[in-house]
Amino acid sequence: MDNCIFCKIIAGEIPNYTLYEDDFTLAFLDITPRAKGHTLVIPKVHAENLLELDESHVKNLLLAVKKAQEKLDKVLKPDGYNIGWNHGEAGGQVVPHLHIHIMPRYVGDGGTNMHAIVNNPGSESVEENFKLF
């Protein structure tokens, strides 16, 4: 996609620090890291989010997360990870090309966990919500 910064990285028009690459995916260091080794893993096809990514690419994307994580694990030896992605404006997504954040975690780094992202469960019970499905 013409104006997409991550498509430009894939096209080699913007430099990056590649950790892992194959025919379908690219994993590179985040330019504004929130943790030592903060990495982004992206599909080479443009898709704004997972719902828009063709199913045929999903397996490759998760495989690339594993490959990049293996490399991070070997080199930086973190104590843990948070891995995930922001989807849509409400989810805090800034770059509209699906990217999976790999955040290495280190004991005592002062960070928190996924549960701290939001605490807005609504007033209905889980049972009531389940009925909606």
Q: Which two tokens stand for residue 52?
A: 């828009």
Give yes or no for residue 44 binding Zn ion (CB under 5 A).
no
CA pseudo-torsion sign 36, 108, 106, 100: negative
**99 alpha-carbon distance from chain centroid:** 4
For residue 35, give the amino acid letter: A
87 annotated active-site: no
Q: Which does 31 bind (CB under 5 to 8 A by kind): ligand AMP, Zn ion, none?
A: ligand AMP
Answer with the entry of ligand AMP, Zn ion, none that 4 interacts with (C-beta below 5 to 8 A by kind): Zn ion
- Name the one residue in this structure whose structure tokens are 């973190």: 78
Q: Are strands 25-29 and 18-21 parallel, antiparallel or unpaired?
A: antiparallel
Q: Which of residues 40-99 bind ligand AMP (CB under 6 A)?
A: 40, 86, 92-95
Cα dihedral sign, 91-94-95-101: negative
- Map residue 56 onto helix, strand or coil: helix
**Residue of 38, 97, 99, 115 marked active site:** 99
Interface residue with ligand AMP, options 5, 76, 117, 118 (CB under 6 A):
5
Least CB distance to ligand AMP at residue 2 (A)? 16
Closest approach, Cβ 132 to ligand AMP, in A, equals 28
Give the active site residues. 99
Positions that interact with ligand AMP (CB under 6 A): 5, 14, 16, 30-32, 40, 86, 92-95
